[in-house]
Each structure stands twice: as C-alpha cells, then as structure tokens.
Amino acid sequence: MSKLVSLSEAIHSSVHDGDLIYASGFTHLIPFAAGHEIIRQGFKDLTLARATPDLIYDQLVAAGCAGKVVFSYMGNPGVGSLRCMRAAIESGSLVWEEYSHFSMISRLQAGASGLPFMPMKQTGAGDLEAANPNYKRVKDPYTGEEVLVVPPLSPDIAIVHVQRADAEGNAHVWGILGEQREAAFAAKRVILTAEEIVDEAIIRSDPNRTLIPGLIVDAVCHVPHCAHPSYTQGYYDRDNDFYLAWDKISRDGKSVKAYLDEWVFGLKNRTEYWQKLGPEVHEKLKPEPLLSHPVDYGKY
Amino acid sequence: MTVLNYNATELMIVNAARLLRDGDQVFVGVGIPNLACNLARRTHAPNMQMIYEAGVIGAQPARLPLSIGDPTLVSGATSVCSMYDVFTLYLQRGNVDVGFLGGAQIDQFGNINATVIGDYENPKVRLPGSGGSMEIAAWANRCYIITPHQQRRFPARVDFRTSMGFLNGGGERAKTGVRGGGPEAVVTDLGILKPDGNGEMTLAALHPGCSIEQVQENTGWPLKVSADLITTEPPKPDELRILREELDPQGIYI
C-alpha cells in the first residue's frame, strides 16, 4: 500500500505540540526540509532529541519551536558553537538533558529493541552521571560488577532521510548510517523522506541495503535535496560554506530572523529552496560518480 | 643548517603524529587529530587504520574532512557500520588502540572538561559536551590529548569532568576497572606532558626554543619536571611539506 504524501501533509498529520521528535542522521542525511516545515507550521514546546543537534535544531530553537533539547554534542560540527541553543541554555530559557554519544545511542538501541534499559561499561567520569539522574548503576548479576544503565528513548516521531525508498517505505541507505535505523525502530511514528522514490523491484534487487523496512514507516515523502546543508552520499556534498555562514548568521537575533524569513517562511517547500540556492551551489555540491562493484545474489 | 619556520599548530600536529605506531587502530577526530593521523600514515605508520565515531572503519580521506561525518571518509573505506556498532564492537570491546581528545580544560591528572565553564546548572560558558570523548577516554588502550598551552586551559582541577584522566591520582583510575590505560601524553605548543607513576601530568619534553619557566607560567599547578626531560626534534622538511602541500593545502587548520 502506498504511503506517499507530501512532506507538509506528513508533518501536519503526524506532529503535535509537545511531541518528542528525533530527526535522525549523524552529519549525513539530516532532514532539514522537515525541520523547516515544522517551523513553517508553527509547532511549539517540542522536545528535540538528537546526538548532534546540528543546525537543524539550532534553527528550530531560534524559531521558538522547542521546549527542551536532549543531546550529546551541542556544536556546529567542524566549525564551533551552536549559538542559538547555547545562548538559550546560558540564559536559562531552554531545558536540556545531556548524554555522551554512546549513552544517547544506547537509549535509542533500548527503545528500538523493546528493552527496559541498556547496559554499558562505566567510564569513570562521574560528573555527567551525577548531573543526569537518568544514568543509573546496577549490579551485573553474573559478575557482581557495577554497570551503567540508561533508559530507552522512544520518540513520538522519528524523521529519517534516505537515498531511495519504495512507496511503502522500504528504504535503501548507504554512507554513514549513524543512528538512522535505531531512531526509526524506537519511534512510535516514522516519517521517511527520500531523494528518490523507486519501484519495489529496485529495493528487492539489493535487500542487504535495506536499512529501514516499510513495516515501521507511516509516511513516505519524496523530497529531493532534503538534507541540504548536510548531505546525501552520492547525491550532493555537505555545504561546508553554509555551516561556516551560519556561525556568522547566528551571532545575532536579527540576522537569524532575517534568515528564517527568507529561507523558511518565504518559501513553500524544498523545491523552491533548492531553486533559490541557484546553479552555482548545485554545481559546487555535485560529486563525481564512484560506483560500487555489483554483487550477484544468484537466482534460486 | 637551514632554520625551518613553522607555527604552533604544525608543531603540535607533527609531535602528535610521531606518537602513533604503525599498525595502530586509531579513533580519530576532525581537525588536528585527523591531520596528525594522516601525516603518520604518510610517514612512519603506513599500516595505521583510522576509525571515525560516525561508524567508518579504515577511512582513506581523499580531501581534508571538515566534519566528523564527511562523505570523503566513506568513499574508499573498508567498512561502514552504525554508531551503536562502532561504540560497542570496536571501542567498548577493546578494538581501539588510540583515542585522540581535546577539551577546553585539562587538569593536573589529565581529566578533561568539554562540557561547561562555571556551574553545570547555571553555566557561565556552555561548551559542546562529551560527544564520544567520555567513552574514548575510558576504553581506548591509550589516549593523547592535544591542546595549546594556556593558563586558562590548564587549571589544577577542571570545572567538570567530561572524560576521565587519572581522577585524583594515586591509582584511582585503575580502581574504577575501566579497560583503557588513560592519557599517555598531552601535546601542547610548548612541549609534551606525560603522567608520572601517580598519574600527575609532568613536563617530559620541551619543544625547541621553549623553556621550563614558560611552560610553568602557562600551567595552573606547580609543574613537576621529569628527570629525563628532553627537547623534541623540530618538524622535518618532509613532515611540513606533506602537511602544507598534501593534507591542508588551503591552510584551514595550519
């Protein structure tokens, strides 16, 4: 059964004020188009969880959509600070909950596996453990040693961007896999955005590449260039110039508002956004092809 | 003999690269650690393998990666896995030899703060936080810390322990039972600190032209000096050429 809908419909029917949202993707495949759509539709009081909030959550925080953030590295990757989030935290206007990358991902793994908690070896650095009561210690019943545990993270909605999917939401992903699969399986509802919608036969031609199965997907949206200024392996490069530019834009509230007005509120959808970026940016971000060697599954 | 000109960043990269051993499996961060690893691979450690926390194993970046998840890390790598897998199967399981760490503050016992300056609940300066460093510092067989030498970066005690060095010294780290050996060296632009038997960071090497007094002035505790204090070899022409011409031709980091 086809689950194809527009991104604006999917956000409209799946997201509610106060929801816990996990827009997944570690540097790669970050669904910026979905973030912009959430801003346009004016949702409030969201709990925004991501290992690296990245620019997508800095923009959602700046737009007033967030009540709380859950994260493990709050930086502009390769550049410096996430200034909007940082200012909101330093001024006491944003609630936060903090983990290390591994404990954040372990929470998703617990949620995705239907487990009550996930154990990890202890790290000896007690301060984060003391600052966040979600970290607990339990005794390993086999050795008697103490292990650290974290509770499951079960987002109301996971948003997952992929290279290609069929209309049911069976999705091929390659390149950095981050926490895509864990976020999708942990969530109550999954919105899938894809660079390309392909025939089911293409998915079935390479089942080992299917990271997300359609059975957990609620909505499938065809959104080319969804991840800009992050990237989609093989489709377009990360726009490092924009990551550097955001460092300047986010230095003051006026330029942030001007950016949101021009690039989010001033545009209807991702197609308009991509056109507005212009041919020079398109050309700059276009990678040369590098094909993998085909595999033979055999006909049985 | 020609006198070579080099800057503080190049000096730190070259000295960090020299600490890596051929065949090491290294958990790499972007920026200076990435440059140090690629320099080592092109000089004395061709069989060193780079692992990135994004889940990339055996990366051979064709260009300078600007983020920890750059697509150039993937193209041509030996394997890509999920983040959960890279932290469990590789790091927690004990398959990582070396971790590189940085931070806003490093203390007398090699503990690192990358989280907050001031009080955690009411931060004066909010920093990015742990990322992968809490586990890397605990579970990699050995760790190297790279940071410029400044008084504010080297307090006697960090405001927040994001990642463990030797805690308060005196075998406290070993008592926690973590598998990794802890920081083996702190490479700065003035010299190299190494832990003594008690886990206290001690001046083990000076870079050419730097003095003990200069290091002490920039360190927030009375610094012990190793009986075997050495002076590091200045960066060699070949090391500088690879760095400047092959690894960072645009001068983004150096």
- What CATH number should be reported for the domain holding residue A24? 3.40.1080.10
A235 band by pLDDT with thresholds 50, 70 and 90: very high
Cis upstream peptide for A229 (omega within 30°)? yes
Residue A68 β-bridge partners: A47, A95
Please name which of A43, A102, A39, A45 lies closest in space to residue A69, comparing C-alpha atoms.
A45
- What is the per-residue pLDDT for A11? 98
In this structure, are A13 and A123 located in the same domain?
A: no
Q: CATH classification of B8-247, choosing from 3.30.360.10, 1.10.10.60, 3.40.1080.10, 3.30.70.330?
A: 3.40.1080.10
What's the pTM value of the predicted model, to 2 decimals? Answer: 0.96
What's the CA gap between A146 and A113, in Å, rounded? 23
What's chain A's average pLDDT?
97
- What is the per-residue pLDDT for B254? 87
Let me know if B53 is a catalytic residue: yes
Q: Which domain holds residue A131?
A: 117-150
In this structure, are A21 and A133 located in the same domain?
A: no
In this structure, are A140 and A257 located in the same domain?
A: no
Residue A130 reports pLDDT greater than 90:
yes
Q: Which sign, positive or negative, has the C-alpha torsion A209, A214, A216, A221?
A: positive
In this structure, are A75 and A223 located in the same domain?
A: yes
Query: So where are chain B's domains?
Result: 8-247
Number of domains in chain A: 2
Model-level ipTM above the cut of 0.90: yes
The answer to whether A46 and A22 have CB atoms below 8 angstroms apart is no
Residue B100 β-bridge partners: B144
The answer to whether A23 and A56 have CB atoms below 8 angstroms apart is yes
In this structure, are A168 and A143 located in the same domain?
A: no
* Polymer length of chain A: 300
Asked if residue A109 belongs to a domain, the reply is: no
- What is the per-residue pLDDT for B3? 59
A77 band by pLDDT with thresholds 50, 70 and 90: confident
The answer to whether A179 and A108 have CB atoms below 8 angstroms apart is yes
What's the CA gap between A60 and A256, in Å, rounded? 11
Please name which of B181, B184, B175 lies closest in space to residue B204, comparing C-alpha atoms.
B184
- What is the per-residue pLDDT for B30? 76
What's the CA gap between B134 and A36, in Å, rounded? 32
What's the CA gap between B216 and B222, in Å, rounded? 7
Asked if residue A111 belongs to a domain, the reply is: no
Please name which of B28, B69, B253, B61 lies closest in space to residue A229, comparing C-alpha atoms.
B69
The answer to whether B115 and B160 have CB atoms below 8 angstroms apart is yes
The answer to whether A72 and A66 have CB atoms below 8 angstroms apart is no
The answer to whether B11 and B215 have CB atoms below 8 angstroms apart is no
Give the A:B interface size as CB pairs under 8 Å: 168
* A123 chain-B contacts, CB cut-off 8 A: 134-135, 137-139, 163-164, 178
Closest Cβ opposite residue A127 in set B126, B160, B179? B160
Instruction: Tell me how close the Cα of B159 comes to any Cα of chain A, in angstroms.
Output: 10
* B74 chain-A contacts, CB cut-off 8 A: 175-176, 233
Tokens standing for residue A96: 């936060």
Q: What is the mean pLDDT of each run of 10 residues along chain B (254 residues)?
A: 79 97 92 91 95 95 88 97 98 96 94 95 93 96 96 96 97 95 97 97 97 97 97 96 93 88
Asked if residue A110 belongs to a domain, the reply is: no
SS3 A241: helix
Angstrom CA distances, A253 to A91, A133, A160, A250, A260, stand at 14, 33, 29, 7, 11
In this structure, are A238 and A256 located in the same domain?
A: yes
Asked if residue A108 belongs to a domain, the reply is: no
In this structure, are A178 and A244 located in the same domain?
A: yes
In this structure, are A229 and A253 located in the same domain?
A: yes
Angstrom CA distances, A259 to A44, A84, A246, stand at 20, 13, 9
SS3 A295: coil
In this structure, are A172 and A138 located in the same domain?
A: no
In this structure, are A166 and A241 located in the same domain?
A: yes
Inspect the interface and report whether the beta carbons of A238 and B71 lie closer than 8 Å. yes
Inspect the interface and report whether the beta carbons of B120 and A178 lie closer than 8 Å. no
Inspect the interface and report whether the beta carbons of A74 and B167 lie closer than 8 Å. no
Q: 3-class secondary structure for chain B? A: CCCCCCCHHHHHHHHHHHHCCCCCEEEECCCHHHHHHHHHHHCCCCCCEEEECCCEECCCCCCCCCCCCCHHHHCCCCEECCHHHHHHHHHHCCCCCEEEECCCEECCCCCEECCEEECCCCEEEECCCCCCHHHHHHHCCEEEEECCCCHHHCECCCCCCCECCCCCCCCHHHHHCCCCCCEEEEECCCEEEEECCCCCEEEEEECCCCCHHHHHHCCECCCCEEEEEEECCCCCHHHHHHHHHHHCCCCCCC
In this structure, are A94 and A27 located in the same domain?
A: yes
Quick: pLDDT tens for A12-21: 999 999 999 9
What's the CA gap between A51 and A183, in Å, rounded? 11
A144 phi/psi in degrees, rounded to 5: 85, -5
Q: Among A24, A57, A81, A102, pick the best mutation site for testing chain B contact (most B Cβ within 10 A).
A: A102
In this structure, are A87 and A212 located in the same domain?
A: yes
- What is the per-residue pLDDT for B2? 52
Residue A236 β-bridge partners: A232
Inspect the interface and report whether the beta carbons of B176 and A28 lie closer than 8 Å. no
